Amino acid sequence: MTDITHRFIETSGIRMHVVEAGQGPLVLLHGFPESWYSWRHQLAALAQAGYHAIAPDQRGYGQTDRPAEIEKYTQLHLVGGIIGLLDALQEEQAVVVGHDWGAPIAWDAALMRPDRIRGVVGLSVPYFPRGPVSLLTAMRSLLGEGFYMAYFQQPGVAEAELERDVRTTMRMLLYSASGDAPADRRASQPVVPQGGGILDILLAPETLPTWLTEQDIDYYQRIRANGLQRWPQLVSYD
């Protein structure tokens, strides 16, 4: 059995919760709406393969601090937190694995600090260079104000919807973004209907897929009930 440990690290002005196993630097960055828990199976497998696998709760998620100021969630802040994590661990370099919204942080960490990042693994989101306008501006022009990133810009609106029933929210979000959802209903480019919410375009599974258990949903519900997860506004891309 591989021991998985939890601790808190001060980095980039916040207190970050990290979970780790094994030896040899490797950082795992989760996406939305997740936490370190997304890597619970990979932590032990990577440790047994000879890596020091580190899975932080990213800024605004899980047990890591949630600064109230929206402007403290820029890519500079997010990347800075990961470089600060390496500093705190006294690791000169690491391979960074990023999934979903963790992928742009991994790519940008390598671009901004190539001296500290010796390799990147991107899952779900490939690298794309900075364009003439921000991603949020481009997606607004393409898909309108209903695009989920634009919907999340309104303080308190998404929170009110998603927190009404956290258990249902997590079941719908995780299932609808997965390969188990019907191809024509997957949340690949979710656009919220006018006057509606993001849950209006998601599916609730009749039964959970094999990779998601009621105990997993329990964990997410418990974390949110304890006030330990924020639904982050994606303002860093504007």
Q: What pLDDT score does 226 carry? A: 58
Domain boundary among 85, 113, 129: 129
Domain boundary among 76, 101, 129: 129
Q: Which positions of the chain have pLDDT values less than 70?
A: 1-2, 25, 29, 31, 185-189, 225-238
In angstroms, the CA 170 to CA 223 distance is 12
Backbone angles phi, psi at 178, to 5 degrees: -100, 170
Residues 150 and 81 occupy one common structural domain: no
Q: What is the DSSP string of 165-196?
A: THHHHHHHHHHHTSTTS-GGG--SS-BPPTT-
3-state class (DSSP) for residue 118: strand
Residues 117 and 179 occupy one common structural domain: no
Residues 1 and 58 occupy one common structural domain: yes
In angstroms, the CA 154 to CA 161 distance is 12
Residues 101 and 189 occupy one common structural domain: no
Other Cβ atoms closer than 10 A to 127: 13
In angstroms, the CA 59 to CA 66 distance is 6
**Residue labelled with tokens 């949340």:** 187
Residues 119 and 221 occupy one common structural domain: no
Residues 6 and 124 occupy one common structural domain: yes
In angstroms, the CA 229 to CA 101 distance is 16
Helices (H), 35-183: 40-48, 75-88, 102-112, 135-143, 148-151, 157-162, 166-176
Q: Is the backbone of residue 103 left (phi > 0), alpha (psi -120 to 50) or beta? A: alpha
Residues 8 and 118 occupy one common structural domain: yes
In angstroms, the CA 221 to CA 238 distance is 30
Give me the number of domains the chain comprises.
Answer: 2
Domain boundary among 110, 129, 148: 129
Residues 123 and 25 occupy one common structural domain: yes
Q: What pLDDT score does 182 carry? A: 85
Range of the domain at 108: 1-129
